[in-house]
Amino acid sequence: MSGTAILLVDDHPVVREGYRRLLERQPGFRVAAEAETAAQAYEAYRRVRPDVVVMDLNLPGAGGLEALRHIRQWDARARILVFTMHDAAAYALKAFEAGAAGYVTKSSAPADLVRAVARVAAGGRALSDDIAREIAAERLAGRDGPLAELGTRETEILRLLAAGHTTEAIADALCLSPKTIQNYHSQIKAKLGARTDAQLVWLALGAGLVGEGTRPA
């Protein structure tokens, strides 16, 4: 089939349905596959080889950053557009570091998503206005958030830790050993200068990795 083939990754079926209808109303766009987890996204990408992946970062288990990294490891030419509620500059920069070609927040107008998909499909980069302003403000202020010290996988592990997942659950989600996760845990604390897990949660909150509903005890 001709046209721009899209892989849509979001863990909410109703949300996927809405975005699928929006995208398929555009001439030349078709949603070739859908996925709701990082593992499904990777499998679907290998099966369908879409022109563009539209991916949320909030996925159960291993999140979108891990899915993004995994897909790009398999295919360095993969064109991935992050479409997420996360509007923190630090998180957007981590997504680009992992290989994203674009980053659009879900508070953007539907037309912004359509334009971003077209731009990414054409080989360009896309950034929603709110994220562009956040990144510019941080750069102008000369600020580097705490995530600047972390690699992509460390950022994902911090997100999972701050969301309350156990070492065993994180190890299972990322296909790593519990010992490896413990080592990452220690490295993250050292890099961020955090003495306790509660401090890690506050840092993750400040960086926009987890929502306000996550509070350390």
Measure the CA–CA gap between 152 and 61, rounded to whole angstroms: 16
Query: Is it true that 4-140 and 146-206 share their CATH fold?
Result: no
Topology (CATH level 3) of domain 146-206? Arc Repressor Mutant, subunit A (1.10.10)
Residue 164: count of CB within 10 angstroms of its CB: 11
Q: What is the pLDDT of residue 216?
A: 45
Neighbours of 101 (CB within 10 A): 22
Residue-wise pLDDT for 192-212, tens only, equals 888 888 888 888 877 777 765
Contact of 69 with 22, CB cutoff 8 Å: no
How many beta carbons lie within 10 A of that of residue 183, not counting itself? 12
- CATH level 3 topology of 4-140: Rossmann fold (3.40.50)
Q: Please give the pLDDT value at position 146.
A: 67
Residue 95 has a pLDDT of 87
- Which residue, among 69, 70, 68, 71, has the nearest Cα to 83 in the 3D structure? 68
Domain boundaries along the sequence of the chain: 4-140, 146-206
Cα gap 213→73, rounded to integer Å: 33
Return d(Cα 194, Cα 205) in angstroms, integer. Answer: 14
What tokens does 125 get?
């980069």
> CA 156 → CA 79, 153, 184, 191, 207, distances in Å?
20, 5, 11, 15, 12
Q: What is the pLDDT of residues 111-130, one digit of tens each?
A: 999 999 999 999 999 988 88
pTM metric for this prediction:
0.75
For each successive 10 residues of the chain (217 residues), what is the average pLDDT?
88 92 93 93 95 91 86 94 84 86 92 94 91 77 68 85 87 88 90 84 77 49
Give the integer Cα–Cα distance in Å for 43 and 39: 6
